[in-house]
Structure 1
């Protein structure tokens, strides 16, 4: 078992969290965040997000659409994209959804197509995994080998399924909230809008928190204690929700994509993914700082097939 201790920290006895520690935590997090070169990492993730987007949309539409209905899922996705990035970008993605390649093909072509589809869709998660590994101090060669590559892609596909599940839950809860709000508006019209807004915001927080917790816990090649994951995911979820509203306002007022003409939609998607990745990486660094400060974790090799050179954070 290899023990790891970040150069930014001295070994000290475990202690409980105190609100007075927040300034120090944020200062250490910012230092670690800048040291990890977050702008380069976020640019890489944004580039691969564009490459992965068509395949990601096809998989989510087919997986969740088979349960809820493709038209409903498509409408929900476009509505969220429109709120976050703008109507023009949502329209570009809608056209992408219409051209899904539904024509019949042979068995071999279908199998190859599915493999390529999954490989393409998991690209962005593979890059996220590399970025999180770098934040946790993993060496660049830790993922060498075909087995490790297959495992990483399989893990990425698992996160696509998690996204699909969360979208399904979101659709269900949105329907329930909408039904409740209609009933509430009939009984108490003056408070209905506020109740719906609060309910929708809380639902978004819960789903985003769940996604970040899964990302921090399972995507990197490190074992991170759940206590650190819960705190880090909560901080990241709050920052992400706030950032989402600020980005939507920025895109609406400044219209940064208008400069690029026909390529504006692609640029907006890349900007949104890049800014969101910066928040995610800040949360990952906060999780690392919190784990080092309060949990005295050790970094060791993660056990499993093909993981000879992998490291991980295990409980001390």
Structure 2
């Protein structure tokens, strides 16, 4: 099976180097570091309601306790022990809400609005990185669409968590049923590798869905997939690097009791830099090798969000 000529050209070392250089320039030009700081702040306020919705949706299938346990396990792997502790504390406080159906109804609306705020800010940042013209993203229709897409992405997060729970439950059942036979068999190692590859595919799919659906620009799936793969790979490497940096404690120890919150903010900030670099990489790939579905470079840049 022969690879498409466009893909063969994109895999040339000179093309890859030029693509990375252009992506780095665009990342700097659009001040992605500032966008990461803003996103970190929005994410901290949206994190609790977002996770409450994810737990509620996924918990309808697996039970809230199982979902909560799996979620915190994954968050601990991502953000470290201190970041996970902050999230647990915030979620515990969020559940101590008022009683009564009126309070519950108001809480639901506030919950949905708060949970989608971070994604709405993320959409505004992606529109600017993709240089979407102001008239493409203005108006009430655009605002409603942004909130609906944001809520849809929260549901997508719940779906991916369900898939992860299913895979982990299947592996756990196999370990429990076969016991030492499973541990000693070569199939266990193969299953672990397949599980890791599947987890990576889930991360790629999540980035691809966000890059495809969230911006106002029309982007084709073939143009999104390479950027999603690169972003997922950078995210895994960055997760390790951020974890090593935060584990030393120098960055957060000076803040005392607030150190755990600072650790979470730093993790979100550095992760946002990787995400935004992946976004500009996706755009540059689309402009160089894609189906020309990306907005033209001469279009009017979007106003700052």
**What's the TM-score bracket when you normalise by the shorter of the two chains?**
0.7 to 0.9
CA RMSD in angstroms comes to 2.6
- Could you say which residue in structure 1 is the equivalent of 2:51? 57
1:157-196, CA deviations, whole angstroms, 9 ceiling, x for partnerless residues?
0000000000010000111123345538525527577446
Contact 2:85 2:260 in 1 (8 A): no
1:220-269, CA deviations, whole angstroms, 9 ceiling, x for partnerless residues?
00111111111111111111122112222222234533221222222112
Contact 2:219 2:293 in 1 (8 A): no
- Could you say which residue in structure 1 is the equivalent of 2:271? 276
How many aligned positions are there? Answer: 290
Deviation at 1:86, TM superposition (A): 2.2
Please list every run of at least 4 consecutive aligned residues from structure 1 whose deviation after the TM superposition is greater than 6 angstroms.
none
- Could you say which residue in structure 2 is the equivalent of 1:161? 155
Cα distance in 2 for residues equivalent to 1:181 and 1:273: 34
Contact 2:175 2:183 in 1 (8 A): no
Deviation at 1:219, TM superposition (A): 0.4
Residue segments in structure 2 that go unaligned for 5+ positions in a row:
none
- Could you say which residue in structure 1 is the equivalent of 2:169? 175
The range that moved more, 189-198 or 34-43, is 189-198
Q: Does 1:215 align with 2:215?
A: no
Q: TM-score, normalised by structure 2?
A: 0.86
Higher helix share: 2
Report matched runs for 1:131-150 at 5 Å.
Answer: 131-139=125-133, 142-150=136-144
Residue segments in structure 1 that go unaligned for 5+ positions in a row:
1-13, 302-308, 312-316
Contact 2:82 2:264 in 1 (8 A): no
Q: Secondary structure at the match of 1:297?
A: coil
Cα distance in 1 for residues equivalent to 2:75 and 2:100: 31
Cα distance in 2 for residues equivalent to 1:195 and 1:256: 38
- Could you say which residue in structure 2 is the equivalent of 1:225? 220
Cα distance in 2 for residues equivalent to 1:254 and 1:130: 33
Q: TM-score, normalised by structure 1?
A: 0.83
Q: Does 1:258 align with 2:242?
A: no
The range that moved more, 123-132 or 238-247, is 238-247
Contact 1:221 1:310 in 2 (8 A): no
1:96-129, CA deviations, whole angstroms, 9 ceiling, x for partnerless residues?
333313553133x333221111111111101110
